[in-house]
Amino acid sequence: MNWTDLRVFLAVAQFGSLRQAGRVLGVTQPTVARRIHDLEADLGIPLFSRTRGGHQLTTAGGTLLPDVLAVETAILRVEKRSLQLLDQLSETVRIEAGETAAAVLAQGLHMLRDGPSVELLVSSVLTPQIRRKPEILVQHGMPENIDGLTRRVGSISCAIYGTPLFAEGRTLPLSDAELATLPWLGFVEEQDHYRTMEWLRKTMRDRLPAVRLMNTDLMVTAATNGVGVTVLPRFVGSNVLKLIQLSPPIEALNADYWIVADPDLSRNPAVRTVIDWIITCFRKAENC
């Protein structure tokens, strides 16, 4: 049973004629007859009896009519709500992402010039006053127990970067023993639980960091001025002229990213376009 068959049922019930129902629905009389036959077969009961005056509802058909009308009302309400949601997206599709994922997307904004407009929020700096829920969430790791469209969009690899000074007289990539002698940049104490910090403490043999900083932008600024070496996403480090990659890609820090789209909007053309763009951005970042 599908909604098309029910629409045909309602039209025949209203007009009492296959021909008139077909004219209103924009289909042929044989198509209307076939739809009614299929619906009766699905339900296992006759819905109409044929008389000289046309098609009349059977007792079973009359009993089902209020329920089918209720279905029509519900579907029309869904269609109206969908149009309202589409209107909300006529200007922007809102995306929420962490710092790294947001940087991936920011680098790819030029590829969306002819598509929907986007509004990019960084999760770590959201305020309680945010009024509009994002249509798309980009998150690190596979979503758990979340309704809506979920899809893996790519992974981001990291490496250690520093100024060429730290590589003088050495062969790249540096060995673990060589890396362990270098001054390093770490995150602030509240971010000690980050996987990056756990890996750095082990690699740097529990030496204290030269300085602690709160985000990637600050790490880049300090690293380019020779303060120390730092772990950066490769799509970031490879675009900083004053830095070179000192280590191989760090397999232990590879990070998978997934999107979660609002279940009410996951089939919306604008949202779909933005999802495809997000995937393209991550593929470009992976190839750095």
Strand 211-213 and strand 93-97: pairing?
unpaired
Strand residue runs (E) in the chain: 48-51, 54-57, 93-97, 118-122, 136-140, 149-156, 158-162, 185-187, 211-213, 230-233, 244-245, 255-261
Same domain flag for 194 and 271: no
The enclosing domain of 234 has a CATH number of 3.40.190.10
CA distance linking residue 211 with residue 198, whole number of Å: 16
pLDDT at residue 168 above 80?
Answer: yes
pTM of the model: 0.66
Domain limits at 220?
158-253
- Assign 139 to helix, strand or coil: strand
pLDDT in tens, 225-246: 999 999 999 999 999 999 999 9
pLDDT exceeds cutoff 60 at 126: no
Q: Looking at 71, 88, 105, which one is the last position of a domain? A: 88
* Same domain flag for 151 and 163: no
107 with 66, same domain: the answer is no
- Does residue 163 sit in the same domain as residue 280? no
Question: Does residue 135 contact residue 262 with C-beta atoms inside 8 Å?
Answer: yes
Residue 124 has pLDDT above 90, yes or no: no
Q: Which comes out higher in pLDDT, residue 81 or 16?
A: 16
